[in-house]
Chain A
Amino acid sequence: MKERSILALVIITLVMLAIGYLVAINVDVMPVAASSRALLVDDLARILFGLATVVFIIVQGALIYAVVRFRKRKGDNSDAIQYRGNNTLELIWTVIPAILVTFIGIYSFRVLSEIEVHSDDEMVVEVIGQQFIWQFRYPSYDVRTQELHLPVGQQVRFEITTLDVIHSFWVPAFRAKRDATPGQVSELVITPTELGSYPIRCAELCGVGHSVMNSLVTVESEEDFLKWIAEQSGVLPTPDLEETGSIPAETEIAAEPAQLVGSSIFGRYDCGVCHVLDDAGGFGHVGPTLEGIGETAAAREPAVDARAYLLKSITRPDAFVVAGYSAGSMPQNYEDRISSEELEVLVDYLLTQ
């Protein structure tokens, strides 16, 4: 009898190890892995899933076995055989879980140390969160954008800050996340490894537009990246320079028709993330729609004309709050960010809508 139960124990242990191993190598619950860090985190996840499956099967298995095997027979009202404890058994189920969590702890610590190693040739990208957009600044190129491009294989150090409340910069494909906390510069290190475009999402509740605070990161070859950087800084990339033989002048704002500039300012400051306006690609529902705003603006406040209403609504968003929307949802810092010329053009444009 005793030999048989030892044999059964050995067989169960081997089967469990096999199941745990099979789960660990086959589990596929993570999104595409696009950074060196993602691979390490995914390996940890595999081990966690393998161990979890074993524990899960042992507990649920014992539960189901007991429920089936130890049913009370009809008419039997006597008590069961009593045993109040078993020191060996209790020691086993204290020590084995303790060993398992120690192993997981040490392994996690090693992964953690590895994914957060800095290197000398890091590229710094500043990530600036604000309700409800992300901005990215490349200090070495003096470029500021609203989409993120990264050269493949280049280690990047994100320096994450916020202009208002707490946000959390999360790229699921990189398995990387860090909060943007007021008064702090938080760091996050990753090395992108796979070409492609991946979502950036805000993971910390930041207000009414939290769910639209998304962006995109594009991982591309170094040439493509440099070309993109050059386009952002208004200077054409070097190959074009050689063809034309001269550096083209920066595009003059005044040279374009007012209509187009208005809509591009609308785009530049991400107004469309929160306001619907088809003409300028606005799609968001965080704030009121701006379709036909030229007419509605005049009617909103009896004492304020349309132009003053719009100006004030941009610079002091809580001065007038449209019914059904809440104060505090719109960034309060447009007055500092938009130049007065741009503001004039933007309001002119909105009045024509």
Chain B
Amino acid sequence: MTNEEIMTAPIRWRRYFKWNTDHKVIGVQYLVTTFIFFLIGGVLAMMMRAELAQPGKDILDGAQYNAVMTNHGSVMIFLWIIPVFAGFANYFIPLMIGAEDMAFPNLNAASYFTFLLGGLVMMGSFFLGGANTGWTAYVPLSIIAPDGQTIWAVSLILVGTSSLMGAINFMTTIVTMRAPGMTFWRLPLFVWGMIATSLLVLLATPVLTTGLILVILDRVAGTVFFDANAGGDPILYQNIFWFYSHPAVYIMILPGMGIISEIFPVFSRKSIFGYRMIALSSLAISVLGLTVWAHHMFTSGLNPGMRVPFMITSMIIAVPTGVKMFSWLATIWDGKISFTTPMIFALGFISLFVIGGITGIFLAAIPFNIHVHDTYFIVAHLHFVLFGGSVSAIYAGVYYWFPKITGRMYNETLGKIHFGMNFVGTLLTYLPMFLAGMLGMPRRVADYAPEFTELNLLATLGGILLAFSTIPFLYNVIVSLAKGELAGSNPWRGLTLEWQTSSPPPEHNFESSPLVTSGPYDYGSAEGAQELLELAPAAGD
């Protein structure tokens, strides 16, 4: 079937609303659902920024603010960033390794619907008072919170279970279903990123589930696992929580780094610099990432003697992250860079993520950490990592693979407007927060001292810009889906396997099982580039 035929065939919408075992359908289900949750999380964020634009109580009272803040964090982490990468991984892992589908197609569909159920249960928790303890849900506050807290904890268990099913599937698929010739050292770096991520999910998620079950038991069954007055231990909860939730940061950034590693070579027409080092640094980050959790507890009731080892591991983890940053810079160095929307989002990723990365070292330094812990400095740091980093990478991935998924090109001008608003908005929203935190503004407050007014107003203005930046994006997606230029199978002249089949790919991905004879980024080599030129005519900028 040619591209023309695929595009003129009626889009089979119904399969997206049903149990479907095609990994591409499940990928799209994940991508669209998570983006809707992103918009919900964004509305919650704007409610907070509206409340915080000026000191004093404006639109939310303390309880409402806490519920909005808790669910903003939970939605963005558990219903947007973590699962959106499951969407990309579902769609592209089989394509990138030359497989027909995932190893366990039914488990794959089950994972999506468990996620969807978890998301709806979390939304439902609002009707029972909502969780209002922050996404960290520290005991004993989370024990005495309203009923919504129990429902919220149940939703996290569902979403975590979905995440586990996904990780099992990704690992099995990558290990057992690679096309002939697709050795581990020929895997695209996004696939390497998903290996590192899946290992973390498999090792850490069950621990969070355990913690949440204990919280639910303390809440509804009258147990006292975390009740200090009855021999329980609130610090135990913090250890359990961060044992998952710090690795979760890497679960949220490693796939994004993988996407960045796909994009730089394609749009620089150059092989990735230090392929093995980038792949291994993902594994190093994932192993080290399991050993740094207590740096979230430097001011807590943790025994002070336990802080220094965690400072050391937290410092060391900067090294593999630095290796990635410098390897990316060396990849674009001497390249022939074309400034497509995915490429500028990837360049923006470097620019913003480096701010989050450097401030991470500040936070590993215990004496500085003690001052800024639980302040707006942390809020700024984590948003540079997760918004400047992960979300930039997600947008880069959406634009990069939009032609493959839909068969049509997006509009470059709108894409660049989107990037501009997103980049400026990110800086304007989060830079002032560093200053507010150091000067004395705690996080998770519904109100603040008047001295922080200017900084908060700036952040709110930046937030408004970020909110509006989704308009050109959505408009672009909807209009391009209907009338975008036909993309052809390989508009970017990429070498990875997903570009060696039609857009969108046929039901079993490839007309015949591909035979892999070279690496994913072997630009400049006779076989790589030449072969491709025959396969697909180059699309203009």
Contact = CB atoms under 8 A, between A and B. Distances in A.
Interface of A: 29-31, 40-41, 44-45, 48, 52, 55-56, 59-60, 62-63, 66-67, 70-73, 76-86, 89-90, 93-94, 97-98, 101-102, 104-105, 107-109, 111-112, 115-116, 164-166, 168, 170, 172-173, 175-179, 181-184, 186, 199, 201-212, 214, 285-286, 324-329
A178 B333 contact: no
28 contacts: A48-B362, A55-B358, A67-B347, A70-B337, A79-B269, A80-B268, A82-B523, A82-B525, A83-B334, A86-B330, A90-B326, A108-B311, A112-B308, A112-B367, A166-B141, A168-B374, A176-B371, A177-B371, A177-B374, A179-B299, A181-B234, A182-B227, A199-B449, A205-B444, A210-B62, A210-B445, A211-B445, A211-B448
A77 B492 CA distance: 11
A66 B325 contact: no
Contacts of A104: 315, 361, 364-365
Interface stretch (B119-127, B417-425, B432-440): B432-440
Contacts of A112: 307-308, 366-367
Given A30-B439, A59-B350, A177-B371, A72 B269 contact: yes
Interface in B277-308: 277, 299-301, 304, 307-308
B336 A79 contact: yes
B430 interface: no
Contacts of A45: 362, 368, 438
A84 B448 CA distance: 52
Given A48-B365, A56-B355, A66-B333, A80 B141 contact: no
Contact of B367 (A29, A70, A108, A183): A108
B301 A179 contact: yes
A93 B322 contact: yes
Interface in B349-363: 350-351, 354-355, 358-359, 361-362
B268 A63 contact: no
Contacts of A70: 268, 332-337
B299 A98 contact: no
Contacts of B316: 98, 101
Interface stretch (B93-101, B132-140, B162-170, B192-200): B132-140
Contacts of A210: 62, 66, 442, 444-446
B496 to A, nearest CB: 15
A89 B327 CA distance: 10
A295 to B, nearest CB: 23
Nearest to B61: A285
B523 A205 contact: no
B465 interface: no
A182 B299 CA distance: 14
Contacts of A172: 371, 439-440
A186 B491 CA distance: 61
A23 B340 CA distance: 36
B129 interface: yes
Given A45-B368, A102-B315, A329-B63, A66 B336 contact: no
A181 B301 contact: yes
Contact of A29 (B228, B438, B442, B443): B438
B270 A325 contact: no
B146 interface: yes
B312 interface: yes
Given A48-B362, A86-B330, 13 more contacts: A41-B368, A45-B438, A71-B336, A79-B270, A80-B269, A84-B271, A85-B273, A108-B366, A168-B374, A176-B370, A177-B370, A285-B61, A326-B146
Contacts of B15: none
A67 B146 CA distance: 52
Contacts of A205: 66, 133-134, 136, 138, 141, 443-444
Given A29-B438, A211-B448, A93 B371 contact: no
